């Protein structure tokens, strides 16, 4: 018997060990590769997903401890809010290498759901756990404001 969860509004069962990180369950068991592996220790934010609207590092959450509905970049992309954020990302040419961007967009989505008009300080605080190796932080901030 698998471990039940809700991912992007759909009931799923993870056929893995309860201590398997959510990141690997999403990628390897469900084939959802939008969530990226970065550091594996919850420090970079590349693997950010939302659980009940809160940004969490999926590399640090065992599937046996999921405590709410999971939303991934694939799920955000299907929403009006997600499309608005992605459109702002494209219009301001935020992406360089692109590796961190799924996690950045997930964190931005959680911020905008709580605060639709954040100031620079609120953006910086909300996004502080997401590292961009290309240092597009100024464009990320502007894209969040545009979205």
Q: What is the mean pLDDT of residues 42-60?
A: 97
Query: Which pair of tokens denotes residue 21?
Result: 């990180």
pTM of the model: 0.93
Q: What is the mean pLDDT of residues 35-60?
A: 96
Tens of pLDDT, residue by residue over 56-98, are 999 999 999 999 999 999 999 889 888 999 999 999 999 888 8
Q: Which pLDDT value is given to residue 110?
A: 96
With 80 as the cut, is the pLDDT of residue 1 above it? no
With 80 as the cut, is the pLDDT of residue 26 above it? yes
């Amino acid at each position: 018997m698998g471990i039940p969860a809700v991912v992007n509004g759909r009931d799923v069962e993870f056929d893995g060990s309860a201590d398997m990180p959510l990141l690997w369950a999403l990628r390897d068991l469900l084939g959802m590769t939008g969530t990226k592996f970065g550091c594996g220790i919850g420090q970079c934010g590349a693997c950010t997903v939302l659980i009940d609207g809160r940004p969490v590092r999926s590399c640090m959450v065992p599937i046996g401890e999921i405590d709410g509905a999971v939303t991934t970049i694939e799920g955000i992309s299907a929403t009006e809010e997600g499309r608005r954020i992605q459109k702002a990302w494209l219009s301001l040419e935020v992406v360089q290498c692109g590796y961190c961007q799924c996690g950045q967009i997930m964190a931005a989505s959680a911020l905008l759901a709580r605060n639709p008009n954040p100031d620079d300080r609120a953006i910086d605080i909300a996004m502080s756990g997401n590292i961009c190796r290309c240092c597009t932080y100024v464009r990320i901030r502007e894209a969040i404001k545009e979205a």
